[in-house]
């Protein structure tokens, strides 16, 4: 039966080695995704000089304005939004392209033969827990970096450490909460994208004609939502970390965090 030929692997698979470095199919896909982003931005940059009103330029500018507008809505500060924009736009673009790349024809179906048998040459990067953990680490570390830059090292450290036993206990809970974001970020993105790819593989094996098409459209939408959720949660944590925690703005930002988490499912 065709279903018996399904190839579903939770872990990324090795395609070759460069000395001690194991190159997996998700690493290959993430490289392709990065090249796509670089090519689009390079082409858009050239288009600005040659054809300022070109569709590619307008598309990139429109997407940038949307993301910058969302950031400004949360921060209520244009200068602060512009400081956060490079990190958040990079995360959004990388996650979105790799979410969608995993759904493209050839990803998962083009295979190679190596010492481990027949393995897919490419696999969606965000369907690999290693990638999503890496993105979560970047998000959490950069949140701390921005907090130190905005508040200063000593003022930011007071959030976690105090001579008051009660405040020290609260600070340690906050530290545990920051570490737990690694699990929340990584497993939310990985779970949604991996489950979607498995669903498409199973549906395509059971009814390969037109049945997968509605699910493909759904997964394209899910890929966009998950990229946006990851970006917005990072933004919310950035704003909380760089805002006076006793201010009303801090409580408003925490309500946005709750709404974003509930949307992500």
- The predicted pLDDT at position 35 comes to 94
CA distance 137 to 145: 12
Q: Are 139 and 237 in contact (CB under 8 A)?
A: yes
CA distance 67 to 261: 18
Domain that holds residue 233: 20-264
Residue 153, in any domain of the structure: yes
Please tell me whether residue 121 adopts helix, strand or coil conformation: coil
Secondary structure element (H or E) that encloses residue 205, with its range = helix 165-206
Residue 15, in any domain of the structure: no
Residue 62, in any domain of the structure: yes
Residue 4, in any domain of the structure: no
**More confident call, 2 vs 161:** 161
- The predicted pLDDT at position 98 comes to 93
With b for 16 or more beta-carbon neighbours within 10 A and e for fewer, the 40-65 pattern comes to: eeeebeebeeeeeeeebbeebeeeee
Residue 86, in any domain of the structure: yes
Residue 252, in any domain of the structure: yes
Residue 3, in any domain of the structure: no
Res. 250: pLDDT tops 70: no
Taking every pair of Cα atoms in the chain, the longest distance, rounded to a whole number of angstroms, is 67
At 70-128, the pLDDT tens digits run 999 998 889 899 999 999 999 999 999 999 998 888 787 788 887 777 888 888 899 99
Residue 6, in any domain of the structure: no
DSSP states of 13-32 as a string? -EEEEETTEEEEHHHHHHHH
Strands 111-114 and 21-24: unpaired
Residues facing residue 23 across a β-bridge:
16
Token duo for residue 79: 């200068």
CA distance 210 to 248: 52
E-assigned strand segments in the chain: 14-18, 21-24, 111-114, 117-120
Secondary structure element (H or E) that encloses residue 1, with its range = none
> What is the total count of domains within the chain?
1
Question: pLDDT-derived band of residue 152, with 50, 70 and 90 as boundaries?
Answer: confident
Which of 134, 92, 135, 84 lies closest to 239, judged by CA?
84
């Amino acid at each position: 039966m065709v279903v018996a030929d399904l190839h579903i692997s939770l872990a990324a698979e090795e395609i070759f080695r460069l000395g001690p470095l194991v190159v997996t199919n998700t690493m290959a896909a993430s490289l392709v995704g990065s090249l796509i982003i670089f090519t689009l931005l390079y082409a858009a940059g050239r288009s600005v000089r040659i054809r300022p009103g070109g569709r590619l330029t307008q598309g990139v500018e429109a997407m940038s304005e949307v993301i910058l507008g969302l950031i400004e809505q949360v921060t209520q500060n244009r200068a602060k939004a512009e400081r956060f924009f490079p990190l958040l736009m990079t995360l959004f673009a990388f996650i979105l392209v790799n979410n969608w790349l995993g759904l493209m024809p050839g990803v998962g179906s083009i295979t190679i033969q190596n010492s481990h048998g027949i393995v897919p040459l490419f696999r969606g990067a965000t369907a690999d827990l290693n990638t999503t953990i890496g993105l979560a680490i970047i998000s959490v570390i950069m949140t701390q970096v921005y907090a130190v830059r905005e508040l200063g090292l000593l003022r930011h450290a007071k959030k976690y450490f105090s001579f008051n036993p009660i405040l020290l206990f609260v600070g340690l809970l906050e530290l545990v909460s920051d570490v737990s974001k690694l699990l929340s970020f990584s497993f939310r993105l990985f779970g949604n994208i991996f489950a979607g790819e498995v669903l498409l593989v199973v549906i395509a094996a059971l009814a390969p004609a037109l049945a997968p098409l509605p699910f493909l459209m759904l997964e394209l939408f899910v890929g966009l939502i998950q990229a946006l959720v990851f970006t917005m949660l990072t933004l919310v944590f950035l704003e909380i970390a760089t805002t006076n925690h006793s201010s009303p703005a801090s409580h408003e930002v925490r309500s946005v965090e709750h709404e974003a988490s509930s949307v992500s499912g």
